[in-house]
Amino acid sequence: MAGTSSRKSGSAGTPTPSSTETDLVKEAEATRASAGYHLIGKRTPLIDAALKVTGRAEYTDDIKRPGMLVGRLLKSVHPHARIRSIDVEEARRHPGVAAVLTGDRYPTPFGVLPMTHDETALAVGRVRFLGEHVAAVAAVDEETCERAFELIHVEYEPLPVYDDPKVSREPVPVKIHDRALRDTNLQKEVFQHFGDVPKALEGASQKVKLSGKYLGVSHGFTEPHCTIAEHTPDGRLTVWSATQVPHYLHRSLSEVLGMPMHRIRVVKPEVGGGFGGKSDPFPHEIACAALAIETGRPVKVLFDREDVFYLNHGRHPTQNDVTVGVDADGKFLAMDIDALIDGGAWSSFGVVTTYYNGVLAMGPYRFDNFRYHGARAYTNHPPSGAMRAHGGTNMRYTVESVVDEIAARMSFDPIELRLQNFLPPNFKTINEFRITSNSVRQCILAARDRSGWEEKYRKLPYGRGIGVACGFYISGSNSPIHFTPVFPQCTVHLKADMDAGVTIHCGAADIGQGSKTVLAQVVAEVLGIRMDRCRVAAVDSDTAPVDLGSYSSRVTFMMGNAAKAAAENLKVPLLQAASELLEVPPDRLEASEERIHVKERPSQGVPFHEALHKAMETKGALVASGAYSTKPLGGTFKGAKAGTAPAYSFSAYVAQVDVDPETGFVHVENVWAAFDCGRPLNPLAVEGQIEGSIHMGLGQLLSEGLSYRGARLMNPSLLDYKILTPMQMPKVECLLVGEDDPEGPFGAKEAGEGPLVAALPAVGNAIYDAIGVRLMDLPITPDKVLRALEEQRKKGGAVKPPAPTRPSKRTPTHGGR
Amino acid sequence: MPKKVPVRLRVNGEEHELHLPPQRILLDVLREELNLTGTKRGCDLGTCGCCTILVDGEPRLSCLMLAKLAEGHQLTTVEGISPAGALHPVQKAFIDLGATQCGFCTPGFIVTAVAFLRDHPGATRDEISRALSGNLCRCTGYVKILDAVEAAARTLAPAQER
Ligand code: FES
Ligand code: FES
């Protein structure tokens, strides 16, 4: 169903723009349609959807290997302790047990970032969080594994437990890792200063500082981690795993097991969601492989939900302070940020996290003065890691709350205030990000017009409110994690053979976001063929060329470009063959509608398969390759590469809420989500990313949070960790107003992570509009709302904040840039 | 190791004679003994809905049910929702309207929705949303799932009212 890419999810209650209003969404759609693509930009069902709705899609836990053993991991019962001894002899002798391993077997440290290897397959001499794995057992069944655990005797010597990142920042008697900075437990510290922040703040006519507090958040993917490993007599190791980054797993297996990469095969079956939570190479994946090597039999390690919570790697618990100074006209002068991030027991992506919490804070606004101090602390909490809109979410909430507060204090309409301060397209920021395409203005104007903002802002009755917030995110990290040897960030191989089908080989990991579908769309678009001729073979490291993985919202941009290049290369011999058949030079031919034909005379042509067979006469199957590498970007100062990307997504969301002052319950009614992903290659999938992001963002805002008592996680289950149900989802309207990006494939940019960031502060600001209190401690549970209202009453009564008094110049939908 | 007991299960219209330890959970038996891996395991604790199957036509969490207690009941898994080579209108709508992303929650939603629409043809979006609130999805934000079930309800309603 080709159609409009602005769709309402609900049936009622959404005001439509007045007919006199210019509709930016329709305009953007019309511009895009004029390009005349046959597949790109069409609402395209996922190519594997039929397998998924019938239960046929194969996930790791669905795979059975002959003689497969059950692998289980014994969890530490201490958050921080020295392991004096582990006695596994009795467990090893227990009938049905095939192997028991401890940390000394494969002690090589590893981790996702080459500079911070501080994890091991199993604990070596020390446990650093409750739930860390101390031993691995392979046995005939689960019960036998459990019995073996009872027979493993671990003697622990408890160490001081660090559960507060503030303490980790000070000198400590025991360091969690030797590599922690100085005599503290800090893992990473970042200082950046551009311009002169103290001076600019001094000259500001208004300064607003807010502090945000954020609990950790779980990815909440529905498929628990699962890995199968098999070591065969030919000396090869095959690992099937629920991973979003097969290549890093491949490398880590090789490093830790001491086995060359070419003898290891990594297969990624269907993955039941990742959101960053399956992007580190994990200890259990390596332990599973180690058990397979040890036993010579296939071994499966499957997590239960509690294991998933203890392995964590979710969004970092964070405290941040953001100060922004503005001049009398509302121009942003300076931003000053301090962030303290609880990293838990391992580094994971922590260096990146620490940078991102600062460097992604300014966009989409222009600042000429910026200062950031960020610190990520080791604690004895389960490790935090990368989660959707990594490093861009918590900071964004505080920043957008500050902007809203400035508008309130200076009596601006918050949309007008933002419009004055946006980065223009084609601009270099003070921290040397290269901004190219940027449709943030269209985003905020579209969201304003569609939401009926003018009639609602400060005008709804007490308890109901509307709020706005913007977002900014990288469309693929410019610098790869591994840079030696040098290789492209993504490569795609194509093979077209007798059957006139095209096999697409690529290492990009589809984790439900639809990257396989994008591959097929791009290749079929370029070759002018139907999508069902394309089959995507992803991911088997034996056949798929390397893609760096599904993280940093890089896949559509980088894989899309690689696929386009590969298809264009495959087209060359096809045009040549058709040229011979038609006796017309190849540059006068084009491919469309399953044919290769003369450009200006479509009736003169040959079917795709005839051109293909002709081309194969002497060469056999056609093969082609395409690759994408980013160009060097960013400055030369320390940390200058962090946050550089070949493009950035932008967004502006308006949310409408209903807050019950009696119960403190926040009901989010509507979200108008205007998003700039450049040209949406598959609007159906882009909307799905936006809607899913809103769900995840609102969960963090309203009900989700990993709560600890000391170092003990108190809610490691989906009963106590509360993900929103269908009943709590607002109506969502997706407004795709982006212009083509100059470097993205067909003009596309990311839509996987950026759609999350504006959701939280749009609702936070709507709550402020509804009841006049600013809530900066997430999640905003009803008890916090009630407490804030109580405070407010003590101070003089529950009222809505006053309406802006500055004469609104009501920026027209067009012009005024 | 506890003694095994005979367990007779009727799944998707087929009889299975099994010998199982009496504490075996139905979800495990479906997946591991009968190879019906379409039914997913998201939590093992009755909190996610991924393992939903139909027991005598009603949605039940197979992770909370002993296989032995399923004897004498008609069990339907996602594999039994539609005849070979055909799709149920709910499945068709899930594909066309983008209601499945990673797909891991999908079988649970499909069987729940199929049972609900059978009893409530022409249900409204709010009613559907309530009926599906025992199933978690982390990818879609439910928006397209509700779109799909609503669309399927429209396809099914006239046929069933006749
Ligand atoms: S696996 Fe049964 S409800 Fe989650
Ligand atoms: S589609 Fe992934 S959990 Fe629902």
**Min Cα separation A220/chain B (Å):** 7
Higher-pLDDT residue of A811 and A405 is: A405
In a domain, residue A570? The reply is yes
Average pLDDT of the segment spanning B55-80: 98
Determine, for residues A54 and B44 on separate chains, whether the beta-carbon distance falls below 8 Å: no
3-state percent breakdown (helix, strand, coil) of chain B, nearest 5: 40, 15, 45
The values of phi and psi at residue A786, to 5°, are: -65, -40
The reply to whether A620 and A543 lie within a common domain is yes
A669 touching chain B per CB within 8 A: no
Partner residue facing B41 (CB), from A61, A688, A723: A61
Counting DSSP H helices and E strands in chain B, the numbers are 5, 5
Partner residue facing B136 (CB), from A54, A304, A723: A723
- Residue A798 pLDDT grade (very low, low, confident, very high; cuts 50, 70, 90): confident
The reply to whether A485 and A452 lie within a common domain is no
Determine, for residues B47 and A275 on separate chains, whether the beta-carbon distance falls below 8 Å: no
The reply to whether A569 and A680 lie within a common domain is no
Q: How high is the ipTM of this complex?
A: 0.97
pLDDT digits (tens, 9 = 90+) for A243-302: 999 999 999 999 999 999 999 999 999 999 999 999 999 999 999 999 999 999 999 999
A96 touching chain B per CB within 8 A: no
**Min Cα separation A54/chain B (Å):** 6
Structure tokens at A744: 């993205």
Distance B142 CA to ligand 1 centre (A): 18
The pLDDT assigned to A566 comes to 98
For A41, half-sphere exposure in the C-beta direction (CA atoms, 13 angstrom radius) is: 25
Looking at the 3D structure of chain A, how many domains does it have? 3
CB A458 within 8 A of CB A801: yes
- Integer Cα distance of A375 and B64 in angstroms: 44
Partner residue facing B91 (CB), from A53, A64, A684: A53
b/e map A101-136, b = 16+ CB within 10 Å? bbbebbeeebbbbeebbbbbbbbbebbbbbbbbbbb
Spatial CB neighbours of A306, under 8 Å, sequence gap ≥ 6: A716, A717
- Which chain A residues are within 8 Å of B78, Cβ to Cβ? 53-55
CB A651 within 8 A of CB A468: no
Structure tokens at B96: 């066309």
The pLDDT assigned to A815 comes to 54
Q: In this structure, what CATH number is given to the domain that contains residue A96? A: 3.90.1170.50
Ligand 2 atom with minimal separation from the B99 CA = 1
Rounding to the nearest 10 degrees, give the CA dihedral for residues A776, A782, A786, A787. -50
Structure tokens at A168: 């980790």
Residue A487 has pLDDT above 50, yes or no: yes
Closest CA to A136 of A157, A115, A120: A120
Residue A161 has pLDDT above 60, yes or no: yes
Collapsed DSSP state (helix, strand, coil) of residue A502: strand
- Integer Cα distance of A709 and A477 in angstroms: 36
A687 touching chain B per CB within 8 A: yes
Ligand 2 atom with minimal separation from the A52 CA = 1
| CA distances for A348 relative to A119, A240, A391, B3, angstroms | 8, 22, 13, 46
Regarding the beta carbon of B138 and ligand 2, being less than 6 Å apart is answered: yes
Collapsed DSSP state (helix, strand, coil) of residue A228: strand
Residue A817 has pLDDT above 80, yes or no: no
Q: For the residues of A475-496, what is the DSSP string, one character each?
A: SS-SS-S--SS---SEEEEEEE
Determine, for residues A514 and B101 on separate chains, whether the beta-carbon distance falls below 8 Å: yes
The reply to whether A510 and A575 lie within a common domain is yes
CB A133 within 8 A of CB A73: yes
Distance B40 CA to ligand 1 centre (A): 8
Spatial CB neighbours of A465, under 8 Å, sequence gap ≥ 6: A656, A657, A659, A766, A767, A768, A769, A770, A771, A800
Mean pLDDT of chain A: 95
Structure tokens at A179: 């590599």
Collapsed DSSP state (helix, strand, coil) of residue A473: strand
Give the end of a domain, one of A592, A607, A628.
A628
The pLDDT assigned to A292 comes to 98
Q: Specify the residue with its C-alpha closest to ligand 2, atom 3.
A: B137
Determine the residue of chain B that is closest to A147 in CA distance: B1
Question: Packing angle between helix A759-771 and helix A782-794, nearest 10 degrees?
Answer: 40
Q: In this structure, what CATH number is given to the domain that contains residue A712? A: 3.30.365.10
The reply to whether A300 and A400 lie within a common domain is no
| CA distances for A515 relative to A510, A549, A751, A757, B91, angstroms | 5, 11, 12, 22, 21
The pLDDT assigned to A813 comes to 82
pLDDT digits (tens, 9 = 90+) for A72-101: 999 999 999 999 999 999 999 999 999 999
**Min Cα separation B130/chain A (Å):** 6
The reply to whether A532 and A435 lie within a common domain is no
Closest CA to A33 of A683, A750, A815, A744: A683
Disruptive mutation site among B29, B30, B104 for chain A (greatest number of A CBs within 10 Å): B104
- Residue A472 pLDDT grade (very low, low, confident, very high; cuts 50, 70, 90): very high
**Min Cα separation A63/chain B (Å):** 9
Q: Is the peptide bond before A485 cis (omega within 30 degrees of 0)?
A: yes
The reply to whether A562 and A655 lie within a common domain is no
Q: What are the start-end ranges of the H helices in A278-377?
A: 283-295, 305-311, 350-359
Partner residue facing B104 (CB), from A9, A273, A513: A273
Domain that holds residue A613: 481-628
- Integer Cα distance of A247 and A543 in angstroms: 13
Distance B17 CA to ligand 1 centre (A): 25
- Residue A485 pLDDT grade (very low, low, confident, very high; cuts 50, 70, 90): confident
Q: Specify the residue with its C-alpha closest to ligand 1, atom 3.
A: B46
- Integer Cα distance of A530 and A607 in angstroms: 12
Residue A323 has pLDDT above 90, yes or no: yes
CB A420 within 8 A of CB A412: no
Place of tokens 């618990």: A317
Regarding the beta carbon of A723 and ligand 2, being less than 6 Å apart is answered: no
Spatial CB neighbours of B101, under 8 Å, sequence gap ≥ 6: A46, A273, A512, A513, A514, A688, A692, B139, B140
The reply to whether A615 and A668 lie within a common domain is no
CB A321 within 8 A of CB A245: no
Residue A232 has pLDDT above 50, yes or no: yes
Q: What is the 3-state secondary structure (H, E, C) of A329-344?
A: CCCEEEEEEEEEEEEE
Average pLDDT of the segment spanning B6-10: 98
Closest CA to A346 of A382, A394, A294, A300: A382
Q: What is the 3-state secondary structure (H, E, C) of A591-639?
A: EECCEEEECCEEEEEEEHHHHHHHHHHHHCCEEEEEEECCCCCCCCCCC
Which ligand is located closest to the Cα atom of residue B44? 1
Q: What is the enclosing helix (H) or strand (E) of A709?
A: strand A708-709
Collapsed DSSP state (helix, strand, coil) of residue A352: helix
Region of A149 on the Ramachandran plot (φ > 0 left; ψ -120 to 50 alpha; else beta): alpha
The reply to whether A619 and A659 lie within a common domain is no
The pLDDT assigned to A538 comes to 83
Average pLDDT of the segment spanning A355-369: 97
Collapsed DSSP state (helix, strand, coil) of residue A16: coil
The reply to whether A305 and A423 lie within a common domain is no
The pLDDT assigned to A805 comes to 86
The pLDDT assigned to A816 comes to 44
Which ligand is located closest to the Cα atom of residue A271? 2
In a domain, residue A513? The reply is yes
Determine the residue of chain B that is closest to A512 in CA distance: B102
pLDDT digits (tens, 9 = 90+) for A759-772: 999 999 999 999 99
Q: For the residues of A53-95, what is the DSSP string, one character each?
A: HTT-S-BGGG---TTPEEEEEEEPS-SSEEEEEEE-HHHHHST
Spatial CB neighbours of A378, under 8 Å, sequence gap ≥ 6: A128, A162, A168, A176, A177, A180, A185, A186, A187, A343, A344, A345, A346
- Which chain A residues are within 8 Å of B41, Cβ to Cβ? 61, 224
CB A224 within 8 A of CB A308: yes
Domains assigned to chain B? 5-80 (3.10.20.30), 89-161 (1.10.150.120)
Average pLDDT of the segment spanning A705-723: 97
- Residue B70 pLDDT grade (very low, low, confident, very high; cuts 50, 70, 90): very high
Ligand 1 atom with minimal separation from the B40 CA = 1
Closest CA to A755 of A647, A642, A653, A646: A653
In a domain, residue A209? The reply is no
Region of A607 on the Ramachandran plot (φ > 0 left; ψ -120 to 50 alpha; else beta): beta
Average pLDDT of the segment spanning A325-351: 98
- Integer Cα distance of A232 and A214 in angstroms: 47
* Identity of the amino acid at A81: A
The reply to whether A674 and A715 lie within a common domain is yes
- Integer Cα distance of B28 and B10 in angstroms: 15
Average pLDDT of the segment spanning A518-539: 96
Distance B52 CA to ligand 2 centre (A): 14
Determine, for residues B102 and A222 on separate chains, whether the beta-carbon distance falls below 8 Å: yes
The pLDDT assigned to A21 comes to 56
Regarding the beta carbon of B102 and ligand 2, being less than 6 Å apart is answered: yes
Collapsed DSSP state (helix, strand, coil) of residue A151: coil
A272 touching chain B per CB within 8 A: yes
In a domain, residue A42? The reply is no
The reply to whether A133 and A264 lie within a common domain is yes
In a domain, residue A334? The reply is no
Give the end of a domain, one of A310, A342, A368.
A310
- If you count residue pairs, one on A and one on B, with CB atoms under 8 Å apart, how many are there? 185
- Integer Cα distance of A686 and B101 in angstroms: 11
Please report the sign of the dihedral spanned by the C-alpha atoms of residue A508, residue A514, residue A518, residue A520.
Answer: positive
- Integer Cα distance of A694 and A294 in angstroms: 45
The pLDDT assigned to A8 comes to 47
Disruptive mutation site among B138, B145, B147, B149 for chain A (greatest number of A CBs within 10 Å): B138
- Integer Cα distance of A634 and B130 in angstroms: 50
In a domain, residue A198? The reply is no
- Integer Cα distance of B20 and A399 in angstroms: 58
Residue A10 has pLDDT above 50, yes or no: no
Give the end of a domain, one of A310, A342, A357.
A310
The pLDDT assigned to B159 comes to 54
Determine, for residues A59 and B40 on separate chains, whether the beta-carbon distance falls below 8 Å: yes
Any idea which of A626-630, B18-22, B155-159 has the lowest mean pLDDT?
B155-159
The pLDDT assigned to A11 comes to 41
- Integer Cα distance of A315 and A319 in angstroms: 12
| CA distances for A79 relative to A84, A129, A179, A379, A452, angstroms | 15, 4, 19, 9, 52
CB A356 within 8 A of CB A343: no
Regarding the beta carbon of B104 and ligand 2, being less than 6 Å apart is answered: yes
- Residue B1 pLDDT grade (very low, low, confident, very high; cuts 50, 70, 90): low
In a domain, residue A33? The reply is no
Any idea which of A287-301, A541-555, B126-140 has the lowest mean pLDDT?
A541-555
Which ligand is located closest to the Cα atom of residue A512? 2
Residue A18 has pLDDT above 50, yes or no: no
In a domain, residue A286? The reply is yes
